[in-house]
């Protein structure tokens, strides 16, 4: 993978992590529901999955961004 490709994937993971992870998590803490983005993506799941799902999504996005950042050091 080239450095530009890795940057593109990192941007995509950041967008997904924020859109499907951080924003629904903040909405769950403030309103008590995961919000419209999470309901639209996962058909209205609330309760425990209302905060575990977005938290997992954000965590996976951060891990993937970190892995891609390490691979970028060795990219041509």
Query: pLDDT band for position 34 (50/70/90)?
Result: low
| Reduced DSSP (H G I as helix, E B as strand, rest coil) percent helix, strand, coil of the chain, to 5 | 80, 0, 20
Give dist(CA 22, CA 38) in Å, integer: 11
Give dist(CA 45, CA 68) in Å, integer: 30
The better pLDDT of the pair 32, 53 is held by 53
H or E element in which residue 72 lies: helix 49-72
Using one digit for the tens of pLDDT, what is the confidence trace for 38-68? 676 666 666 777 778 889 999 999 999 999 9
The better pLDDT of the pair 34, 58 is held by 58
Give dist(CA 28, CA 35) in Å, integer: 7
Give dist(CA 60, CA 21) in Å, integer: 9
pLDDT for position 58: 93
């Amino acid at each position: 993978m080239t450095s530009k490709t890795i940057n593109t994937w990192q941007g995509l993971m950041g967008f997904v992590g924020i859109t499907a992870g951080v924003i629904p998590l903040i909405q769950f803490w403030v309103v008590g529901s995961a919000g419209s983005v999470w309901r639209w993506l996962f058909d209205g799941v609330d309760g425990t999955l209302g905060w575990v799902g977005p938290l997992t999504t954000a965590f996976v996005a951060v891990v993937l961004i970190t892995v891609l950042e390490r691979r970028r050091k060795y990219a041509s």
